[in-house]
Structure 1
Amino acid sequence: MLSMFSKRQAPEKPGPNNRIEPKSTRGRNDNVTPLKMPPKVEGDGARAMARPEVERLKMFENAPNSGQYLYHLASDIRSFTRAETESAVVKCTPVEVQRVARLLAKLKGRYLAQVVDLGSLKRASIGELDIGELRRAREMAEEVERGLNALREAIERGDLPLDGVKSEYP
């Protein structure tokens, strides 16, 4: 969508003034393309061509302001995300999302059980191994929770259609 702000330029047409034609093709490679020469410019146009900053500024005549750019960038990101999600996720059903939610509940339960286990009277001291296991359980639960939140957001935005569920988005 951001391409709407750039000017399209017509391709340069070959002509007698902007090509160097070989005088003889004998002994030359036929796959070699002749060099293009810049067109001859005379008068006031020569001064304009001498200043490259003028040409550079002409490129930005149709440039958007930052608000327009950010608006179209957000739209592009939504379109790209929706297209990539549809190509990466073959199908998604409510049952699969519920399985992820149940997996998250199990991981959180295991993490809390390990925390409570650290406080039990059976233990005399806490070692690095115990803390490592606790950290791993917490990280696993947090990662699955982030994944479930990403699924929910994708469903809410309409990026991930659910099979068997009517979409609110056209």
Structure 2
Amino acid sequence: MKLHLECERTIHFQKVDGTQGVLKEGAQAYMHFITSKKIDIWMRATVLELHDEGLRVQSDDGLRWNFFYSDLKDVSTQKPDAVTRAEVERLINFLRPVPHTSLPDCFVQAVALLTRPYHRLTEQQAAVIRKMAMENDCDVLEDCCTGQQYTWGVADGSVQLMPLKGRL
């Protein structure tokens, strides 16, 4: 990845695949860092400061990090597939059924309860969710760590885990 820092504290970069982008202070992006200490991390970060040798970012969990540009391997506005898969796998492990819950029978009312982004499930993950729901007579599952509630169904051509806007 090639980088060029302008005086307006803007990074112009060109990735290996030839695509180009711009990062400014205050911008949010997914960034891939590989440091000299063998730390390999993808994080969604807000750019706090850009300097001649590196940048200071804040990850979504509130931690602040200083990185050299030489550590920055990739920047994207979209979450990498590997990160998405890891997040969904973590989420599946923390979901618990909310017994005897159901969404409204009216499709329009049920969809109004949902919010994006949805999480695409593999066939195996979908099977786990269906089994858990059937055994507990429920349409709603809850992340036991965050309290976020989810339902599932076919959306955008595949089985998706879909967050609810509020609690049922």
TM-score by length of 2: 0.25
User: Which gives a bigger RCO, structure 1 or 2 (Cα 8 Å, sep 6+)?
Assistant: 1
Greater radius of gyration (CA): 1
Larger strand proportion of the pair: 2
**More helix per residue: 1 or 2?**
1
Structure-1-length-normalised TM-score:
0.25
